[in-house]
Amino acid sequence: MTIVLETIIFWFVVAIAIINIKYKPAYEVKIEGETVGYIFDETSFKNRIQEEIINQDGKNIEYVSLNVVPEYKKQLVARNTALKEEDILEKLKTEYTTITYKYFIVALNDEEKAYVDTIEEAEEIVDKIKSEYQNDEINLQILTKYTQNQLEINCDTIEVAERNVISQIEEIKIKEKEEEERKNALAIINEIKVSVLPVTGKITSRYGESSNLRRSTHTGTDIACSAGTDIKVIAKGKVTFAAYSGSYGNLVKIDHGNGVETWYGHCSKINVKAGQEVEAGDVIALVGSTGNSTGPHLHLEIRINGKTVNPQDYLY
């Protein structure tokens, strides 16, 4: 009896030894029912999936999900069967993984203006701009954007993003200022905003009138006022002429750009020199009666591209 038992045990051990020489235990891995390879250990492989795929850390990564549940089946395989742990992991990573990315937008008046990687950067930009523009009403928002297409993400550095937002704010402010100036303008002559009347007084001769005082029709508007009254330039510009000029008497010509020129004649005194830049409201001369004049008044002439126009189409 014992001999029989010993024989059985002997052959059993021999069988196991042969199996061990020819076979090894492994896990067959199936993805969507298809065998993709073999691994040595299920638990350590699952840990690698968790650590190297699910928990992978990277720029803008919000979360990672594996779209399949691999199946594992323990079995004995021929000892020379290659274990493809790396390949299977790579396959799962590249073919069966969805990564959701997150980035942040700084919006100005609901328009997307800058893109940054982190909420901290977005908040820093907003805080900085709000403290810089405390007196202005600036509508900034931070929006969170999710995408599964990494190529869609094109974030700026915080410096560039901040600059983008500020330049947009400045552009809006300039437009608002221009709009304000436009609203406050007395007149607009060929895009040039007039914000100041040169003098106030009674109109004594209109544009186009004929008179025995002059050879042709009147090229400007005459406004009577007492001698020595300040003559203010009606808009910013550059002095192109400031001297005595025949029938005009003491004459100042200002070029306002865009083909617009204003002439101020019969002055008693000239305060500016040719080439000088002037701002709207600067006192360029004083009212007088020099040249072809019968009493103190300002002869105001407006020219567009060299041709006189009726000043009263715009002023008075």
Residues in region 201-240 near Zn ion by CB under 5 A: 220, 222
Q: For residues 125 and 34, give the distance between their C-alpha atoms in angstroms, rounded to a whole number.
A: 51
| 268 CB neighbour count, 10 Å cutoff | 17
CB of 25 or CB of 295, closer to Zn ion: 295
The three-class DSSP label of residue 258 is coil
* Helical packing angle, 119-132 and 158-184, nearest 10°: 30
CB of 182 to Zn ion, least distance (A): 30
User: At its nearest, how many Å lie between Zn ion and the CB of residue 181?
Assistant: 29
Under 8 Å CB-to-CB from 59, ≥6 apart: which residues?
117
Least distance in angstroms from the C-beta of 165 to Zn ion: 53
Query: What is the smallest separation between the CB atom of 199 and Zn ion, expressed in angstroms?
Result: 13
Q: DSSP label at 148?
A: S
Residues 6 or more apart in contact with residue 163 via CB below 8 angstroms: none
Least Å distance, CB 303 to Zn ion, is 14
Q: Which two tokens stand for residue 201?
A: 């007084």
Phi first, then psi: what are they for 249, rounded to 5°?
A: 65, -145
Nearer to Zn ion, 81 or 292 (CB): 292
> Shortest approach of Zn ion to residue 135 CB, angstroms?
46
The contact pattern for Zn ion, residues 116-155, with x = CB under 5 A and - = no contact, is: ----------------------------------------
User: What's the closest the beta carbon of residue 128 comes to Zn ion, in angstroms?
Assistant: 57
For Zn ion, the closer CB: 67 or 294: 294
Q: Pick between residue 45 and residue 207 the one whose CB is nearest to Zn ion.
A: 207
Which residue's CB is nearer to Zn ion, number 220 or number 237? 220
Which part of the chain contacts Zn ion (CB under 5 A), choosing from 25-33, 122-130, 277-285, 297-305? 297-305
Applying CB under 5 A, the site for Zn ion has a residue count of 3
Lookup: tokens for 257: 């750009």
Interface with Zn ion (CB under 5 A), residue from 232, 236, 256, 299: 299
Residue 58 vs residues 11, 94, 96, 103, 117: alpha-carbon distances, Å: 57, 15, 18, 12, 11
Nearer to Zn ion, 222 or 261 (CB): 222
Phi then psi dihedrals of residue 128, to 5 deg: -65, -45
Smallest gap from residue 255 Cβ to Zn ion (A): 20
Of 226, 296, 237, which is closest to residue 265 (Cα–Cα)?
Answer: 296
Residue 226 sits at φ, ψ, to 5 deg, of -70, 150
Report how far apart, in Å, the C-alpha atoms of 178 and of each of 49, 172, 189, 209 are.
Answer: 61, 10, 15, 36
E strands, the chain, are 23-31, 34-39, 61-66, 71-78, 97-108, 111-116, 140-147, 187-189, 192-194, 202-205, 221-224, 230-232, 237-244, 250-257, 260-267, 269-270, 277-278, 283-286, 297-304, 307-309
Q: Does 303 bind Zn ion (CB under 5 A)?
A: no
Least CB distance from residue 256 to Zn ion, whole Å? Answer: 20
Q: For residues 113 and 253, which CB has a smaller minimum distance to Zn ion in the complex?
A: 253
Q: Which is nearer to Zn ion, 155 or 254 (CB)?
A: 254
Q: Which stretch binds Zn ion (CB under 5 A): 182-190, 240-248, 279-287, 299-307?
A: 299-307
Q: Which is nearer to Zn ion, 45 or 248 (CB)?
A: 248
Closest residue to bound Zn ion by CB: 299
Residues that bind Zn ion (CB under 5 A): 220, 222, 299
